[in-house]
Every structure is written in C-alpha cells, then in structure tokens.
Structure 1
Amino acid sequence: MTDSDTDSRLIGLLAATARRDRDAFRRLYEHASPRMLGLCVGLLGQREQAEEVLQEAFIRIWHHAGEYHEERGSPMAWMQTIARYKALDTLRARRRTAGTQSHEIADARPGPFELSLQDADAQALNGCIEELSDDQRSSILMCYYKGFTHEELATALDTPLGTIKSWIRRGLTYLKRCLQQ
C-alpha cells in the first residue's frame, strides 16, 4: 500500500469517525495506533504512560475528527500532532510533580550539608531549559538525555529533519546565552 493509498484510507476513516462511525474509528485505531504509540513511548520513555496518552489522543481524535483538513497535511501527521501534544502535556505535569516532590524533600531536611551540595550550575541550566519552547525543550532532552539521533527524533515526531535541527540549534544557542548571563 502506497503512502497516498494509506492517506486516502485514513482520510476516509477520519471522515466516517467524524460521523460517529464506531467501526471506522476501530479500524482507524488499529491502523494508526502502533505508530502513534511508538511516538509516545519515544517522548515519555514509559510504555504504560504512553498507552494512557495514546488513549487520550484517540479520545480527542474521536471528538475532533471533523476538524481534520486534508490541505493542512497528512492524516497521520495530524493524529501524531495530537498525540505529541498530549505527551508534552504529560511531560510538563511530570516536571511539575517532580519539582514539587523535590522541594518537599529538600524542605523537610534543609541541613547545611544538603544546602552546600546544591549545584548552582545545574539549577541555572534547569531554569534556562524551562524557558525554551516546548519543541526546543523536548528535542534537546530527547537527543541529549534519551540518546535519540536527529533522524530518529524526526521520525518519532513526524517532523522534517531540518526543523528538528533548527529547534535544537536555536535551543542550544539560547541555553548558551542564558547560562552566560
């Protein structure tokens, strides 16, 4: 099956899903979920959490299938964008929770030894990373902390390689400026 055949099939399934055809939605899920799950696992690093995000993404697709417009891109890219943003929301929530928990632990035992071990450079880097755009932050973290190559990241995010490289380059340039302040 060629890409245009696949796109045509997905467009038809999305149109039927917009009319609340449950069988079409099931077939859409069967066809698209493996690739979308791979994207979510790549972003989140945890299969269980990725499966939850995938479920949320498909709920959104069920409710908003009628909003897909063929002229804006392929149906798979549209669905993967939904999954990607759901995964990024989960990462942001995870960061907030981790930040709260680490503050609670640090505040529970704020001895001089613990305070002296705090690394100002790491704190500055974390602060600068938080200021990056979501695309830049996730691209940099996936490449430098999760070991993705630029090509793997482009595939996982269904984004052109040049765009990935630009996000990373601009993000690193910003981090350098931010850390020099």
Structure 2
Amino acid sequence: MPSPAAIPGDLDALPDEQLMAAYAGGDAHAFDALYARHESALYRFIRRLLGMRLAAEADDVFQATWGRVVSARDSYSPQRANWRAWAFTIAYGLAMDRLHTSGRQVAFYAHDEDGDGLEAARLFARGLLRDGDPAADDAANPSAQELAFWQAAGRRLIACLDELPDDQRGAFLLHHEDGFTVAAMAAALDLDADTVRTRLRFGLRKLRGCMERYLSVLGRRE
C-alpha cells in the first residue's frame, strides 16, 4: 500500500475523477491517492462478494481490479460513470466471473472476516433495520453491555450473506454497503431497474429470515 506521506497534500483534496485524469497524464502520485482512498472498501466488497467459498481468491480479484483501472487510464470517461461506481463495477464483474467459473464445490463455513464483527454489524443495521430505528445508532456506537450482541450479529450476517445467491449478495452489498442507488446499479450492471429491485427484495427477505433471532431481540427491546 502506498505510504500516505508520499502523496502530496493537494492531491488528497481532488475528487476521484480528477485524480484519474492526472494519473492518465502521467502523475503516479494521483494513482497512489486513488489506491489509498479506496483500497479498504474495494477489498472488503470483493471479499464479501466472493464469500468464504472463494476467500483465497480475493487477493487475485483485488489485484485484477486495479490492473483493469491501470489499463483503462486513457479510456476512462467521467461522463459515463463516476470513478467509484466504475471501479466497483469492474470489481463486481471480475468477482462474479470467478464465482460462475468456480463450480462452487467448496464447503461453507462461517468466518468473522472483520475480526470483531462490528463492521458487519453496521452493515446489518444499514441493510436490515428500518430507517429511524434507534437500534441502528446502537450498532454504530454500542455500549459495553451491547457490544457482545452486535459482534455476534455481525458474524452471523457474514454467514447469512454467504448463503445468498451470488447476484442477490452482490446487489445487497452494492446498495447497502457501497451506496449505489437502484438506478446506478441498473446502469452499471446493464440491467433494468425492476431486476435490480427484485434482487434486492429477495435478498433482503432471505437475510431477514436468516437474521430473525437477532431482529427479534431488537424487537423486544423496543
């Protein structure tokens, strides 16, 4: 990972699209700034989309994604898509290709990819709880008494995500973790909006069923 100290301060203030243009013009520091800005989120998205079946291939897909970014530096157009949506769409396509060609003949097992489960718990709160639900704030800032509950909920969500069909898991992650709107997802994935909504609806229904025990506990707290 590039050292933050090696990135000029003026680059940190530039939007992604200008950094990409600067990189295409020969400024290697602009690429370092893009990488440092998006490395963690992009890798986490790839890892969760591949699931535990293909966890060992996350590094390869991550590197391949950045390889595509490098090779497309002269052809990228911000008029067609903002940089983040473009990069995540590349990652989505590469990860889905890997899933589709893997045969998926790998045993499932739950794994706490976030260490303490809290990052996944925040994803649970954003994706499965209703807007305005005070429990969402609890997930963002759990008290000492609530910490164990949210850690367990986060670990369970990772297991539940792994059980979703690939397209539903991808839709859920793009929408709830990375902030893609339905319209942006439809454009990026070359799908109609109804297909995107259907994937989100069915994926959310399955996740809520899988997370029922944790949702019921939250319901009893109200």
| 1:138 partnered with 2:166 | yes
- Given that 1:77 and 1:158 are in contact with CA atoms closer than 8 Å, whether structure 2 keeps it comes out as no
Which residue is equivalent to 2:50? 44
| 1:25 partnered with 2:31 | yes
Which residue is equivalent to 1:166? 198
Change (3 A) 1:50 1:7: farther
Which residue is equivalent to 1:68? 76
Which residue is equivalent to 1:155? 176
Change (3 A) 1:70 1:42: same
| Structure 1 residues without counterparts, runs of 5 or longer | 1-5, 100-136, 172-181
Change (3 A) 1:73 1:155: farther
Instruction: Map 1:83-122 onto structure 2 (within 5 A).
Output: 83-95=91-103, 98=105
Question: Residues 22-54 of structure 1, C-alpha deviation per residue, up to 9 Å, x if partnerless?
Answer: 222122111111111121012101454222211
CA distance in 1, matches of 2:91, 2:18: 20
Amino acid at match of 1:45: G
TM-score under structure 1 length normalisation: 0.54
Question: Residues 59-96 of structure 1, C-alpha deviation per residue, up to 9 Å, x if partnerless?
Answer: 1101102222222222100111111111111112212x
TM-score under structure 2 length normalisation: 0.45
- Given that 1:7 and 1:74 are in contact with CA atoms closer than 8 Å, whether structure 2 keeps it comes out as no
Percentage identity across aligned positions? 24
Which residue is equivalent to 1:34? 40
Q: What is the root-mean-square deviation of aligned Cα atoms in Å? A: 3.5
Which residue is equivalent to 1:115? none
Change (3 A) 1:39 1:71: same
- Given that 1:54 and 1:83 are in contact with CA atoms closer than 8 Å, whether structure 2 keeps it comes out as yes
- Name the structure with the higher helix share: 1
Which residue is equivalent to 1:125? none
CA distance in 2, matches of 1:98, 1:160: 33
Query: In terms of Rg, which structure is larger?
Result: 1
Q: Structure 1 residue 19: deviation in Å?
A: 2.8
Which residue is equivalent to 1:81? 89
